[in-house]
Amino acid sequence: MKEILPSPPPLVRNQHEAVKELFHTHVVPSYGRFDLVFSHGAGSFVYDVAGKRYLDLGGGIAVCALGHANAEITQALVAQSQKLVHVSNLYYHEPQGRLAQQLARLIGPGKVFFSNSGAEANEGLYKLARKFGHEEGRFEILTAVNSFHGRTLAGIAATGQDKVKKGFEPMVAGFRHVPFNDLPAACAALSPATVAILIEGIQGEGGITPATPEYLLGLRAWCDEKKLLLLLDGVQCGHFRSGRFQSFQRILEGVPGGDRFVPDGVSMAKSLGGGFPIGAFWVREPFADLLGAGTHATTFGGTPLACAVALKILEVIERERLADNARSLGAWLLAELQRVANAYPQVLKGARGLGLMIGFELLEKEKIPALAASEKSAALQFVNRLHEAGVLTIPSGNQVVRLLPALNLTRMQAEEGIAIIERVVKELAT
């Protein structure tokens, strides 16, 4: 009864193992990787080297806004690369100016600085805040418990999770964490050195927790009163994922005073380039010229190629009304996950999120017999079972599994995803 299934053809198995072997020998092992080796994708599907198809509900961690191998992105890449890939920021070029114009149109009057990643976009916000408070000797930035802001030295100091800091002490000075969605706690934490507060509109790595409208409006009033900068990390929750360009716009929809809310700075990356690396931060008008000539720079920031791709992605998202798709399909997915959670309370605690940024929470590992024995977290084991079943998702902490799919995910694909998730939940329930 041992060998019921034939083993995979040797060539296929070898490619999987050969690629992994290259990594084991030559790549710094700083990532915990899943046992999957991918070769190509199309839309919301991605294929491993053995030809198995996966429905990608992780979107490369909220990056592949238009899915894989999008023809219009390819076209934009090819066309721009035939004209100008890079000139450096010693000169002007049209794509960077146009992209900055578009981002400011979507947030509010202000200006944009381009970087290459989310962590680097946040670094720019830290420097902006320090410049803002410098003459008064203010430098301290408050951030939230369970936040995530990137893996640079200042990024791990800003991040409100101990696991990213361990082994890299001493931390960059000038960051302190306060409980999320707790306005009195933020107010109580104010010191004479405080200059800004940075939060995610929806905490991503922290388990998919949206800021409340009261928190956002309260922080705005408090920051105005105390002369603090209100900075939002929109790296994961931004770029129409919530159903609006930035998640604070969605959270404050229909809330009295909500349409007048504007933060002082917003960082972006992930979906901004749809897989091509680009980050940015927007800064509100009165502070837009704080970082003057010579104060901040990066070689690759806002290349013609990166900006041409980002412009094309914005164009496609708006033309195809993908924000509306994120809103309606996200609402459907969330309702379905809540239905599954209600049907299987012995496995799922519930589901939450906004638009196509959704998390469902598993019970503690010890309470799910099929998961209790393993060393791995419940979320990790669930994600592995979904891989077996042909769906990609992203763990967030020990008990939450995240969906961050392409904004052009279809209803049929969403239905396929829910059916598979429900099947895996059902297996764990029996």
- Residues of the shown chain interacting with ligand PLP in the complex, contacts defined by CB under 6 A: 117-119, 122, 148-150, 200, 204, 233, 235-236, 269-270
CA contacts within 13 A on the Cβ side of 353: 39
Q: Name the residue with the smallest CB distance to ligand PLP.
A: 118
Rounded Cα gap, residues 240 and 340, in angstroms = 26
For residue 164, the 8-state DSSP code is: G
In angstroms, what is the minimal distance from the CB of 118 to ligand PLP? 2
In angstroms, what is the minimal distance from the CB of 282 to ligand PLP? 15
**Nearest residue (CB) to ligand PLP, 149 versus 284:** 149
**Nearest residue (CB) to ligand PLP, 45 versus 300:** 300
Bridge-based pairing state of the strands 279-284 and 265-268 = antiparallel
**Nearest residue (CB) to ligand PLP, 140 versus 200:** 200
**Nearest residue (CB) to ligand PLP, 371 versus 392:** 392
Work out the burial of residue 5: count CB atoms within 10 Å of its CB; fewer than 13 is exposed, 13-18 middle, 19 or more buried: exposed
For the chain, give me the number of helices (H) and strands (E)? 14, 17
**Nearest residue (CB) to ligand PLP, 49 versus 313:** 313
The 3-state DSSP class for residue 271 equals helix
What are phi and psi for residue 281, nearest 5 degrees?
Answer: -130, 145
For 142, 159, 270, the CA distances from 180, given in Å and listed in that order, are 11, 12, 23
In angstroms, what is the minimal distance from the CB of 94 to ligand PLP? 25
Q: Which residue, 338, 333, 342, 428, is CA-closest to 386? A: 428
In angstroms, what is the minimal distance from the CB of 120 to ligand PLP? 6
**Nearest residue (CB) to ligand PLP, 93 versus 149:** 149
In angstroms, what is the minimal distance from the CB of 181 to ligand PLP? 16
Rounded Cα gap, residues 78 and 305, in angstroms = 9
In angstroms, what is the minimal distance from the CB of 126 to ligand PLP? 12
**Nearest residue (CB) to ligand PLP, 70 versus 203:** 203
Q: Which residue, 113, 109, 182, is CA-closest to 145? A: 182
Q: Which two tokens stand for residue 154?
A: 């200042």
**Nearest residue (CB) to ligand PLP, 59 versus 204:** 204
In angstroms, what is the minimal distance from the CB of 125 to ligand PLP? 11
Tell me the β-bridge partners of 55.
Answer: 45, 391
For 6, 7, 103, the CA distances from 10, given in Å and listed in that order, are 11, 8, 50
